[in-house]
């Protein structure tokens, strides 16, 4: 079995920066390493990281890695920021259903790439599995972390929709919230987050 983990951002693309200086790219990468260690050590499964250092990859390349390595599960790890400093907690996202290919082509006169609808539809066959995993992640993270557990939501994220495997985007917390940032910069807290993700898988 192969699990693909995508630590969001990297390199010059730092992602969200907290008031205390904590960077999204750092949180996502450290968490990915911890989850990978648990999966390999306790399940013996193969783990592929989309990035193994501090560099950035285009979104479509991240998804292509899932398909090239025949990943059977795809997790993209992120944090969030908000102008509302009271916004806090983690969120789980799955891909929104795609439109029918004929409708997409009709709506876009400039769309001459016939493979685009196939890419958009790739996630549709895995939506129920992704939703099931999303709910398990929400339960496990709520149990382990004590952070606010927002409902599983749908998104049109490019990094999810082309994956030929159940794909979930996990926002580990809001770096613009002082409490969330303080928790996410603690190694022992990231260990709890990793354990929760592992248990859900």
Count Cα neighbours of 28 within 13 Å in the Cβ-side half-sphere.
34
Helix pair 187-200, 127-145: axis angle to 10 deg = 140
Collapsed DSSP state (helix, strand, coil) of residue 88: coil
The predicted pLDDT at position 71 comes to 97
pLDDT averaged per 10 residues, the chain (length 201): 97 96 98 98 97 95 96 97 89 85 40 50 90 96 89 92 95 95 97 97 95
Phi, psi of 23 (to 5 degrees): -105, 140
The predicted pLDDT at position 103 comes to 43
The predicted pLDDT at position 146 comes to 86
Residues 6+ apart with CB under 8 A from 8: 15, 24, 25, 28, 76, 77, 78, 79
Task: Burial-class residue 148 by CB neighbours within 10 Å (0-12, 13-18, 19+).
Answer: middle
């Amino acid at each position: 079995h192969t699990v693909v983990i995508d630590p969001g951002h990297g390199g010059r693309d730092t992602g969200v920066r907290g008031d205390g200086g904590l960077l999204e790219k750092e949180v996502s990468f450290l968490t990915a390493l911890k989850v990978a260690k648990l999966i390999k050590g306790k399940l013996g499964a193969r783990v592929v990281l989309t990035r193994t250092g501090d560099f950035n990859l285009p979104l479509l390349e991240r998804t292509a890695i899932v398909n090239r390595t025949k990943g059977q599960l795809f997790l993209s790890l992120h944090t969030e920021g908000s102008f509302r400093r009271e916004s806090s907690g983690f969120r789980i996202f799955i891909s929104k259903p795609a439109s029918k290919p004929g409708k997409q082509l009709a709506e876009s006169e400039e769309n001459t790439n016939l493979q685009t609808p196939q890419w958009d539809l790739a996630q549709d066959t895995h939506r129920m599995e992704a939703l099931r995993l999303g709910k398990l992640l929400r339960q496990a993270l709520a149990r382990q972390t004590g952070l606010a557990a927002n409902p599983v939501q749908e998104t049109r994220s490019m990094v999810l929709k082309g994956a030929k495997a159940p794909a979930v985007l996990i926002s580990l917390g809001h770096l613009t919230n002082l409490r969330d940032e303080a928790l996410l910069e603690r190694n022992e807290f990231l260990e709890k987050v990793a354990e929760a993700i592992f248990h859900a898988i």
